[in-house]
A and B are shown apart, each in its own frame.
Chain A
Amino acid sequence: MAAINITNVSKIYAGGVEAVKSVSIDIADGEFIVLVGPSGCGKSTLLRMVAGLEAISKGTVEIGDRVINDVEPAERDIAMVFQNYALYPHMTVYNNLAYGLKNRGTPKAEIDARVAEAARMLEIEQYLTRKPRALSGGQRQRVAMGRAIVRKPAAFLFDEPLSNLDAKLRVTMRGEIKQLQKRLGTTSLYVTHDQLEAMTLADRLVVLNGGQIEQIGRPLDVYHKPASTFVASFIGSPAMNLLRATRDGTRLHFGSQVLETGRLTALPTELTVGFRAEDLRVARTSEQSLAMKVDYVEELGAQRLVHGSVDGKTLTAALSPEIELADTIALTIAPLRLHFFDTTTGKRLTQALDGLGGRREVASALETAVG
Chain B
Amino acid sequence: MHRTRLFDHVILLFGVFIMVGPLLVALMTSSHEAADIHRNGLSLLPGGHFVDTYETVLTKEGGFTGRITGLRMMMNSLILGIGFAAGKIILSMLAAYALVYFRFRFATITFWMIFTTLLLPLEVRILPSYEVMNTLNLTNTYTGLIVPLLASATGTFYFRQFFKSIPDELLEAARIDGAGPFRFFIDVIVPLSKTMMAAIFIIMFVYGWNQYLWPTLMTTDESFFTLVRGIKQILLVWVGSNIPDYNQAFALAILAMLPPVMIVMIFQRWFIKGLTESDK
Contacts and interface: CB of A to CB of B under 8 A. Distances in A.
A363 interface: no
B176 interface: yes
Interface centre among A72, A73, A78, A84 (most CB of B within 10 A): A73
B158 to A, nearest CB: 19
Interface residues on B, range: 10 to 19
B175 A90 contact: no
A90 B169 CA distance: 15
B172 A88 contact: no
A89 B175 contact: no
A74 interface: yes
Helix, strand, loop or mixed for chain B's interface? helix
Contacts of B188: 88, 90
Contacts of B192: 89-90
Interface residues on A, range: 20 to 34
B173 A82 contact: yes
B172 A74 contact: no
Contacts of B279: 89, 132-133
A286 interface: no
B176 A79 contact: yes
Interface in B59-94: none
Contacts of B187: 88, 99
B178 A80 contact: no
Interface centre among A73, A78, A88, A147 (most CB of B within 10 A): A88
Interface in A82-107: 82-84, 86-90, 99-100, 103-104
B280 interface: yes
Nearest to A86: B169
A289 B256 CA distance: 95
A310 B206 CA distance: 77
A184 interface: no
Given A99-B187, A103-B183, A133-B277, A86 B172 contact: yes
B177 A84 contact: no
Contacts of A46: none
A133 B167 CA distance: 15
B177 A100 contact: yes
A72 B176 CA distance: 8
Contacts of A72: 175
A53 to B, nearest CB: 5
Contact of A100 (B172, B178, B191, B280): B178
A103 B178 contact: yes
B189 to A, nearest CB: 10
A73 B175 CA distance: 6
B170 interface: yes
Interface centre among B178, B279, B280 (most CB of A within 10 A): B178
Interface in B266-280: 277, 279-280
Given A99-B187, A133-B277, A86 B179 contact: no
A355 to B, nearest CB: 45
A75 B192 CA distance: 26
Interface string A102-132: 0110000000000000000000000000001
A82 B173 CA distance: 8
Contact of A53 (B167, B172, B177): B172
A49 B278 CA distance: 31
A89 B169 contact: no
A198 interface: no
A133 B273 CA distance: 14
Interface in A46-96: 51-53, 72-74, 78-80, 82-84, 86-90
Interface in A295-328: none
A100 B176 contact: yes
Nearest to A90: B191
Interface in B185-199: 187-188, 191-192
Given A82-B169, A86-B167, A86-B170, A74 B175 contact: yes
Nearest to A53: B172
B57 to A, nearest CB: 44
Contacts of A78: 176
Contacts of B172: 51, 53, 73, 80, 82, 86
B280 A80 contact: no
A104 B191 contact: no
A208 B192 CA distance: 38
Contacts of A88: 170, 173-174, 187-188
Contact of A80 (B170, B176, B179, B191): B176
Nearest to B183: A103
A147 B172 CA distance: 13
A358 to B, nearest CB: 44
B183 to A, nearest CB: 7
Contacts of A100: 176-178
A8 B45 CA distance: 88
B176 A84 contact: no
A99 B174 CA distance: 9
Interface centre among A78, A80, A104 (most CB of B within 10 A): A80
Given A86-B167, A86-B169, A103-B183, A53 B280 contact: no
A52 B169 CA distance: 13
Given A83-B169, A89-B280, A104-B178, 5 more contacts: A73-B175, A74-B175, A78-B176, A103-B177, A103-B183
14 contacts: A74-B177, A80-B173, A82-B169, A86-B167, A86-B170, A86-B172, A88-B174, A89-B279, A99-B179, A99-B187, A100-B177, A103-B177, A103-B179, A133-B279
7 smallest beta-carbon distances between A and B, as pairs: A86-B169, A100-B177, A74-B178, A103-B178, A86-B173, A90-B191, A82-B169
